[in-house]
Amino acid sequence: MNAFKSFFDKLLGNKASQAFPENTSLPKTKPGAAFNYNDFRAEHEKKRLTSIQEGEAAIKDWLIARVKEKGTMNFSWESGNDEALVEFNEYNDAEQEQFDTLEWYIINLLDIPDAGEFKMIGNGSFYSADNAIKLMHSSTLREIVDYDEKTGDEVYGKSDEDKGDILLFTI
């Protein structure tokens, strides 16, 4: 998600954004070479984009048909503590495989973080408009900065809000 990327851009400076040039082959780290964080991030981004393309190919026809039939398809998510969970309002067991694929597609498309140092809540809706399937979403990302010594509760830093409307497929 842009909020997660923005955090690392702020933390690492603008060079973090420059680590993802379009259409380039990624350098591999040689055994025994010093770890290069930008190479690691670029490799992660390449895998994420590949996962988005594979997920889209797997669920595109199903998602178009479902949104046309239902009008909208709502979902929400929570992430943090090393996991990301997406819940669908109209989930059914008969379509479990499609919903599982859709869950990973959403996590990768919106770049929902599952790191333990962050908590994110959000919601979204797939809908049809202008001969297209679109995704409207909004989220709040909070960074855990400390823990209360007496209660063990998480202490959060500043919240980062993100929202958008993404064109997914033309129909």
Range of the domain at 98: 2-20+31-170
Would you say residue 68 lies in a domain? yes
Would you say residue 80 lies in a domain? yes
Would you say residue 26 lies in a domain? no
Note whether 99 and 87 are within 8 A (CB): no
Would you say residue 25 lies in a domain? no
Would you say residue 152 lies in a domain? yes
Would you say residue 74 lies in a domain? yes
Mean pLDDT of 31-45: 69
CA 61, 120, 54 angle in degrees (round to 5)? 25
0.85 exceeded by pTM: no
Count up the domains in the chain and report the number: 1
- Confidence bin at 25 (pLDDT 50/70/90): very low
Note whether 77 and 84 are within 8 A (CB): yes
Would you say residue 48 lies in a domain? yes
